[in-house]
């Protein structure tokens, strides 16, 4: 994922770069998207915990845009 994002950043518009940065911020503790957090509830810890657990198991998690709107969360864990 990181290599793709670095390569993609060279061709993204400023607005697209902002969206990628926003997708990364949702994994920060207590960060919530404006508007959505008030509707859905929560305190902004779920995705942060998910990333920490994935990384401690040697994996990763990231968010990708879905065609037609919305998001797709990709969790990768190594097979052992």
Cα separation, 25 vs 62, in Å, equals 11
pLDDT in tens, 2-57: 333 434 445 667 787 777 788 889 899 998 877 766 676 788 899 999 999 999 99
The structure's pTM equals: 0.70
Domain count, the chain: 1
Q: What are the Cα distances from residue 28, in Å, to 31, 48, 57, 78?
A: 6, 5, 18, 23
Tokens for 9? 């950043």
Domain limits for position 22 = 2-76
Instruction: Report the pLDDT value the prediction gives residue 29, as an integer from 0 to 100.
Output: 94
| CATH of residue 61 | 3.30.565.10
Other Cβ atoms within 10 Å of 34 Cβ, number: 7
Instruction: Report the pLDDT value the prediction gives residue 52, as an integer from 0 to 100.
Output: 96
């Amino acid at each position: 994922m990181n290599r793709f994002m670095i390569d993609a950043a060279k061709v993204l518009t400023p607005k697209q770069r902002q969206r990628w940065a926003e997708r990364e911020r949702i994994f920060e503790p207590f960060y919530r998207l404006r508007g959505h957090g008030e509707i859905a509830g929560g305190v902004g810890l779920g995705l942060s915990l998910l990333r920490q657990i994935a990384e401690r198991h040697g994996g990763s998690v990231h968010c990708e845009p879905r065609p037609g709107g919305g998001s797709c969360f990709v969790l990768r864990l190594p097979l052992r």
